[in-house]
Amino acid sequence: MDDVIVAISTALGKGAISIVRLSGKGSIELVNKVFKGKDLTKVESHTINYGFITYNDELIDEVLVSVMQSPKTYTKEDIVEINCHGGIATTNKILEIMMLNGARLAEPGEFTKRAFLNGRIDLVEAEAVMDLINSKTERARAVALNNLEGRLTSIIREFRQELLELLANIEVNIDYPEYEDIEEVTVSDIKNKISQMKDRLNEIISESETRKIIRDGINVAIVGRPNVGKSSILNRLIGQNKAIVTDIAGTTRDVVEGSITLNGIVLNFIDTAGIRETSDIVEKYGVERSIEEINRADLIILVLNNNEKITKEDMKLLNLLDSKKYIAVINKKDLSRKINIEKLNLKNLIYTDTVSSDGVEELKKKIIELFNLDEIEQNDYEIFTNTRQITLAKECLEILRDVEKAVNDNMFVDMIEIDIKRIWTKLGEILGENYSDELINQLFSQFCLGK
Amino acid sequence: MKYDVIVIGGGHAGCEACLATSRLKKKTLLITGNKNNIADMPCNPSIGGPAKGIVVREIDALGGEMGKNTDKSLLQMKLLNTKKGPAVRALRAQADKITYKKEMLKTLESQQNLSILEAMAEDLIVDNGKISGVVLENGEKIYSKALIITTGTYLKGMVLYGSHKVSSGPHDERPSLHLSDALKRLGFTIKRLKTGTPPRIKKSSIDYSKAVIQPGDPNLYTFSFSMKPQYKVDEQIPCYLIYTTEKTHKIIKDNLKKSSMYGGYVEGVGPRYCPSIEDKIVKFADKERHQIFLEPESIYYDDIYIQGFSTSMPHDVQIEMVHSLPGLEHAEIVKYAYAIEYDAIDSKQLKPTLETKLVENLYTAGQINGTSGYEEAAGQGLIAGINAARKLDGKEALILKRNESYIGVLIDDLVTKGVMDPYRLLTSRAEYRLLLRNDNADIRLTNYGREIGLINEEQYSIFEKKLKDIELLKNKLKSIRLTPKDDINKYLESLNSARLYDSITLYDLLKRPEIEYENIERYVDEKFSFDVIEQVVINIKYEGYIAKANKEAEKMLDYEKIKINDTIDYNKVPNLAKEAAQKLNEIRPVSIGQALRISGVNPADISMLLLYIKRNYNE
């Protein structure tokens, strides 16, 4: 962590200028060695300095160098930004010169990691930056930015403040039992506050879960017996020419067949082992395999053949769909109807004819409807964006339920308070203000410390 | 003359300290300015209260004296917070100030290995960073292997009322003028703290008809686990409740600038938890009235203590103020209220054993460490005494954890966080207070007391019997089953409890919120004592909560187990925030657990620290 890291912090391409950024103790000295102009180690902090980057006495580029001394910088370390002329060759050359002089190429997100570790930003903000870097669509970017501004942070702080006031009041009642000046907190006071908070948190969590797809996209599995038209439907959805058929054996778990953007949300079609196969996959891999795939998916598209009666295999698949979001596609609607689904009480029925693309638009509309993709656009984004936050928030919700139960059992206020304190602590963990294993695990996994 | 241990100061900390060391067979000298002032209660006449009362019981379980001495001098006893959960219940006694001193002096004088000397200590003798004795006022040197300073408010004590400022200890006792300079020379940070006490009035001049009587508890209690009650329920002396009036508030507001505090005569920082009446009226201007309790001090004299009315006003204003209170229109002030300033050290300069980091075998306890309260002082005195003796014997120190005692919480807070204003124990300072109950102090700590050698055979056998009975009763409740018979169901319904459809053990039945032990006692074939039943019932009824608290505590203990090497240089830990490095260097925590509790050290710092420890010490 003592070394100087460097990265090109603008997109590589034909832009008018590119920025090469360095951070770490010694970065100013490092740049100074190859800078022709003022002595950068003597210039004032937060100034922009005109000059040239040289290499072996050769002028490489005319540049503007921003010098920002620790600690008032993004990483709280010394930062130097070299504004050079765009173009891959020059920018890369400058990057290379920096590395030859002792800088190390930054890992993705390493500037942010340093900002976090040096206490410049909190964990939620750091996570938001990571989300921002990883976000695939404009909308995910909007959510990440929102977190960065600390809106979620301020909501959680509000919760904590409310709890803290409640806690303080209860504590005063305990420590000053005979003083009438302070009102005694009653079980019903707790009840009101807690149920409000529970509802609000519940809202945010369920929003978050739906919206998690904003970042990660919706995983869609297309399942069905062979030859019912699964691949045709996939191709119709993602556009024939875009159809990617990967053929990596044994890597099925993470293989995405292709993806489309629907109302700004990424739909990932996960490999359902069988789309490419011609042999009877349900028999070959068994229902086991299908279960796994169905569990991984946020949405199942079950394809059935209009021209055939429901088979045992169809029934097996249907039984798996019970608790999942699914769309039942009756394909080959142009052929004569033999399918007997009247008694099955299927939801979200769509009829398609993949030869003429008939029904495919309807299918897309159904997906939009099922995930409220229209609504997402209109709402504010005050949500948890990653699993760690959602898990902690769910734990809070669990404790809030305990509190409600205890309130109904007429438990002593000071006992209930123990749980209220736990919620307060857990909310602190979400913010990274309270220490917990969760946090350290997160640190070690996401920021690969300890190397 | 050479002693094993010298204790300077005979207050509540000093008494516990010198008793502990002498009972642990260390030749001990107690130096006090005035023998007749040993174990004095210069402020309120009560011992115990929320958190504090639990400390008294912990002291008793460890083999200290405060609980027993209080039981011998009770005027009134109360169990507080009975309408709340078991975790926050606490005993509070009104103790007779005369009896308390007399009984404690008797105990000290009859204690083997303990001598008492009336003198003033002026300087400390330190050899190679190790304490070796004390220099008295007359120049005489007395040597010892360890030394415990428990000087209370006497270090450069300064009594204030109005614009008057007099060098003095409480009740015109002589202050200690030079000892804090000696500490300063040794490198201790000296801070100035302040506390205050209300006026005392003549009982016969009070018209009690305007006051609300506050009687003692109808049940008999003792602080000590091995004492029988020494008082009778109906012979308890009551306290009285009155309220401040509009007139009182006006007098105070009109004369505010005349008080030492608001006139700017006080340098010391006063306790937030025990504000003066001036403070209450200024800070809570919208409150129309404040509660005032009239409390007896002793049966041997006529003084009544006006609880909640501490002030630093000049005497003439005090008279006006007192006369504005209902029933006190003609009250005669026997002792005027005053504020007192005194020197204290920075408690961050102490180890968790209460030994100072600067001088080996030098310990401090009580108000000198920045605490307030008799109980807080006594708890520290006991621990300082135990650890001084154990160190001389080459034994492992006693460091109580936050999940096993309030004393542990107190000391950990002192050495980890330090104090800004006089520190008072509150239940809210204990994160595992459900585990630190009034009822289980003996279960938590008696074994420590026994191991250390402060719990005698007799006391220990009482404890063992209790443990045995608890097991017995628990097993009985688990084995006795009720079946869904008509008469049983009728009985349950009469208690507003659901009918049985299957058989149920008494143990499970007790888990129902509406079922108390009295309701099922008829099915148990043996009589058990109240404290045994209490223990078993609490553990059944609050099983879930207790389990949660234990789980949280275990988490903390895991961090506590990661020790930090004493030689670590925090300036070398990469990427530690500057403030964190500075705090860590100052406090030098013994474990990651302790480091976590230092304010200004954030989670990111902890992860950096963990990484550094892993790299440099574990591999």
pLDDT digits (tens, 9 = 90+) for A73-122: 988 899 999 998 867 778 888 988 998 888 888 876 778 778 777 767 76
Assigned fold of A5-117 = Gyrase A; domain 2 (3.30.1360)
Q: Are strands A35-37 and A47-55 parallel, antiparallel or unpaired?
A: antiparallel
Q: Which of A119, A178, A409 sits opposite B577 (nearest CB)?
A: A119
CATH architecture assignment, domain B562-618:
Orthogonal Bundle (1.10)
Q: DSSP strand E in B473-538: where?
A: 481-482, 504-505
How far is residue B564's CA from residue B589's CA, in Å, rounded to a whole number?
A: 7
Provide CATH 3.40.50.300 ranges for chain A.
215-377
Cβ separation A410–B606 shorter than 8 A: no
Is the minimum CB–CB distance between B549 and chain A shorter than 8 Å?
yes
Count CB-CB contacts under 10 A for residue B294.
25
Q: pLDDT at position A253, please?
A: 34
The percentage of residues in chain B with a pLDDT greater than 90, rounded to a whole number, is 81
Q: pLDDT at position A132, please?
A: 61
Is the minimum CB–CB distance between A178 and chain B shorter than 8 Å?
yes
Assigned fold of A215-377 = Rossmann fold (3.40.50)
CATH architecture assignment, domain B458-537:
Orthogonal Bundle (1.10)
pLDDT digits (tens, 9 = 90+) for B103-144: 999 999 999 999 999 999 999 999 999 999 999 999 999 999
* Same fold yes or no, B458-537 and B562-618: no
Q: Which of B85, B577, B604 sits opposite A412 (nearest CB)?
A: B85
pLDDT digits (tens, 9 = 90+) for B144-181: 999 999 999 999 999 999 999 999 998 889 999 999 99
Q: Which of A180, A418, A433 sits opposite B548 (nearest CB)?
A: A418
The model's confidence at residue A303, banded by pLDDT at 50, 70 and 90, is confident
Token pair listed for B580: 């964190």
CATH number of B2-194+341-452: 3.50.50.60
How far is residue A89's CA from residue B474's CA, in Å, rounded to a whole number?
A: 81
Q: pLDDT at position A282, please?
A: 45
Q: Which of B84, B552, B602 sits opposite A414 (nearest CB)?
A: B84
- The SS3 call for residue B424 is coil
Domain ranges of chain B: 2-194+341-452, 200-339, 458-537, 562-618
- Evaluated on CA atoms B604, B608, B613, B614, the torsion sign reads positive
How far is residue B281's CA from residue B276's CA, in Å, rounded to a whole number?
A: 9
- Give, rounded to a whole angstrom, the gap between the first and last alpha carbons of chain A: 10
Task: Give the residue from A320, A65, A313, A179 showing the smallest Cα distance to B280.
Answer: A179
Q: Which of A116, A418, A443 sits opposite B549 (nearest CB)?
A: A418
Provide CATH 1.20.120.430 ranges for chain A.
151-211+383-446
Question: Over 90: is that where the pLDDT of B482 sits?
Answer: yes
Assigned fold of B200-339 = Elongation Factor Tu (Ef-tu); domain 3 (2.40.30)
Least confident of B90-99, B294-303, B586-595: B586-595
User: Which tops the pLDDT comparison, A344 or B498?
Assistant: B498
Whether omega for the bond prior to residue B352 falls within 30 degrees of 0, making it cis, is no
Provide CATH 3.30.1360.120 ranges for chain A.
5-117
Which residues of chain B does A418 touch, with a Cβ-Cβ cutoff of 8 Å?
434, 545, 548-549
How far is residue A126's CA from residue A103's CA, in Å, rounded to a whole number?
A: 23
Task: Give the residue from A247, A308, A302 showing the smallest Cα distance to A277.
Answer: A247
For residues B182 and B312, is the Cβ–Cβ distance under 8 A? Answer: no
Task: Give the residue from A148, A106, A155 showing the smallest Cα distance to A131.
Answer: A148
Token pair listed for B3: 């002693």
Is the minimum CB–CB distance between A182 and chain B shorter than 8 Å?
no
Token pair listed for A249: 């054996």
- For the ranges A341-345, B95-99, B277-281, the one whose mean pLDDT is highest: B95-99
For residues B369 and B380, is the Cβ–Cβ distance under 8 A? Answer: yes
Question: Over 70: is that where the pLDDT of B235 sits?
Answer: yes
Is the minimum CB–CB distance between A448 and chain B shorter than 8 Å?
no
Distance from the Cα of A159 to chain B's closest Cα (Å) equals 20
Question: Over 60: is that where the pLDDT of A309 sits?
Answer: yes
pLDDT digits (tens, 9 = 90+) for A2-23: 789 998 887 655 567 888 999 9
Beta pairing partners, B117: B31
Is the minimum CB–CB distance between B475 and chain A shorter than 8 Å?
no
Cβ separation A433–B426 shorter than 8 A: no
The model's confidence at residue B423, banded by pLDDT at 50, 70 and 90, is very high
Q: pLDDT at position A281, please?
A: 46
Token pair listed for A123: 């964990």
Cβ separation A449–B87 shorter than 8 A: no
How far is residue A314's CA from residue A302's CA, in Å, rounded to a whole number?
A: 9
For residues B17 and B104, is the Cβ–Cβ distance under 8 A? Answer: no
Task: Give the residue from B7, B42, B214, B261 showing the smallest Cα distance to B115.
Answer: B7
Is the minimum CB–CB distance between A322 and chain B shorter than 8 Å?
no
Distance from the Cα of B47 to chain A's closest Cα (Å) equals 14
CATH architecture assignment, domain A151-211+383-446:
Up-down Bundle (1.20)
Distances (CA, A) of A240 to A274, A352, A353: 18, 16, 15
The percentage of residues in chain B with a pLDDT greater than 70, rounded to a whole number, is 99
The model's confidence at residue B39, banded by pLDDT at 50, 70 and 90, is very high
Q: At what angle do helices A138-148 and A187-216 cross, to 10 degrees?
A: 140
- The SS3 call for residue B46 is strand
Beta pairing partners, B48: B92
For residue A212, the surrounding DSSP H or E stretch is helix A187-216
pLDDT digits (tens, 9 = 90+) for B249-273: 999 999 999 998 888 888 888 877 7
Is the minimum CB–CB distance between A175 and chain B shorter than 8 Å?
yes
